[in-house]
Amino acid sequence: MLFRVRDAAFCLVAALSMMRDSEIHEIRRGAVVQHYNAPAIKSTLDKGRAGRPGKHWWITEPVAEAITLAEIVSVHEDRVFSPLKRPESTEAVHGDQMIDAFITEANSSRSWTGLDEIPDGRVRPHMFRRTMAMLTDQFPGSEIALGIQLKHVAARALANRTTLSYAAGDAQWAELLETALEATRFRRFKDLYGQHKAGTSIGYGPGADRVKEVFDEIISSARANGGDSRVEDDLLRKARITIRFGMLNNCLFDEANPKGAVCLENAVIPQGHTGPLEGRCRPDRCRNSVIGIEHVPLYDSHRRTQLKLLQTRRLPAARKAIIRREVERVDAVLAQVNEENT
């Protein structure tokens, strides 16, 4: 059991921290610290720098918990993930062997865990590092953050060609990544369906009304056919709804029928671009916009901030005009919320 727990903890740290195999093995007891007011791992940089300097890698709470658990079960006096010897082997065990052992254990325990089988294939720590870099690159402005976390040596803000090569899509992995993203989107879409079925509001605006109509049709079809949740899942997958979940709204832009998308009005579309132009998004008047429950506090806070700015003394007239226009747009969004709640 001790080895199984260590293997699982190692896989989690390798998958979510973007650390190299050698850097994970250098983690010492008490390595989870606060770095710029965020949880981080303190370890040794083992590549590209003379003297093996100490560095910090930012982590999430699950990674911190995994390291804490690994410390408890570790038999080594200092290192948490140092190469160790197992009873049945005289050879030191390294990261790749820990991952293989974890996959074997996870697959052999499926009868009681209920987890999906991990398919055959070669899995190594650097693959986790690359995959996380590719996923992180989906967010705007991530290049510098990736360079810092990956510890790439560069003169330009710790982000160079090596960082870009890590984040660039891989032809062999692109299909798997897209499948994972589609699965995540479907889970969130299914959650919205569950909320609507339970009588809870899923959002506001013309886009939300379209989604509600589709959900009502699915509920009626499932009931008419005596269907269960599996039938509902099939109907949801077949629903003609393309949804993109965003920070300020959710977008129903349909590439097969882009008519009515405000972001494309009088716009110069870059060559090869598909989908909406997010920088031109107008949630206040686009028929594709869904203002979710989670978005309302953001708009309310933004409105109060803009009104406070208007009270600034000696504010230039042009600046006041821009702020008032922004308040009008926010008011138009919040009006959709107030209209449904009245």
Correct CATH for 2-136 of 3.40.630.30, 3.90.1150.10, 1.10.443.10, 3.30.450.40: 1.10.443.10
Q: At what angle do helices 229-238 and 206-224 cross, to 10 degrees?
A: 140
Cα gap 131→301, rounded to integer Å: 35
| pLDDT higher than threshold 80 for residue 73 | yes
- Over residues 147-155, the mean pLDDT reads 61
| pLDDT higher than threshold 60 for residue 139 | no
Question: In this predicted model, which residue has the larger pLDDT, 142 or 61?
Answer: 61
| pLDDT higher than threshold 80 for residue 181 | no
- Over residues 247-258, the mean pLDDT reads 89
| pLDDT higher than threshold 50 for residue 154 | no
Structure tokens at 292: 């979710």
- Over residues 193-198, the mean pLDDT reads 92
| Edge-to-edge strands, sheet with 38-44 | 32-35, 38-44, 54-58
Cα gap 181→172, rounded to integer Å: 16
Cα gap 102→287, rounded to integer Å: 48
Cα gap 284→289, rounded to integer Å: 8
Q: What is the mean pLDDT of the chain?
A: 82
Question: In this predicted model, which residue has the larger pLDDT, 308 or 223?
Answer: 308
Cα gap 323→317, rounded to integer Å: 10
Contact 135, 184 (CB under 8 A): no
Question: In this predicted model, which residue has the larger pLDDT, 160 or 70?
Answer: 70
Cα gap 132→136, rounded to integer Å: 6
Nearest to 249 by CA among 200, 298, 208, 289: 289
pLDDT at 164: 58
**pLDDT grade for 174, boundaries at 50, 70 and 90:** low
Task: Please give the distance of CA 289 from its chain centroid, rounded to a whole number.
Answer: 21
Q: At what angle do helices 142-150 and 125-136 cross, to 10 degrees?
A: 160
Cα separations in angstroms, 19 against 63, 300, 336: 12, 39, 46
Give the max Cα distance, the chain: 78
| pLDDT higher than threshold 80 for residue 25 | yes
User: CB-based contacts of 25: which residues, under 8 Å, 6+ apart?
Assistant: 79, 81, 82, 83, 94, 95
| pLDDT higher than threshold 60 for residue 270 | yes
Q: Which DSSP category does 43 fall into?
A: E
Contact 306, 283 (CB under 8 A): no
User: CB-based contacts of 223: which residues, under 8 Å, 6+ apart?
Assistant: none
Count Cα neighbours of 261 within 13 Å in the Cβ-side half-sphere: 21
Question: In this predicted model, which residue has the larger pLDDT, 218 or 132?
Answer: 218
User: CB-based contacts of 168: which residues, under 8 Å, 6+ apart?
Assistant: 134, 137
| pLDDT higher than threshold 80 for residue 62 | yes
Tokens 């959650």, residue?
Answer: 191
Q: What angle do CA 294, 297, 303 make, to 5 degrees?
A: 140
Cα gap 133→172, rounded to integer Å: 15
User: CB-based contacts of 335: which residues, under 8 Å, 6+ apart?
Assistant: none
The residue extents of the domains of the chain are: 2-136
| pLDDT higher than threshold 60 for residue 105 | yes
- Over residues 205-230, the mean pLDDT reads 87
pLDDT at 141: 55
Nearest to 74 by CA among 65, 66, 82, 63: 82
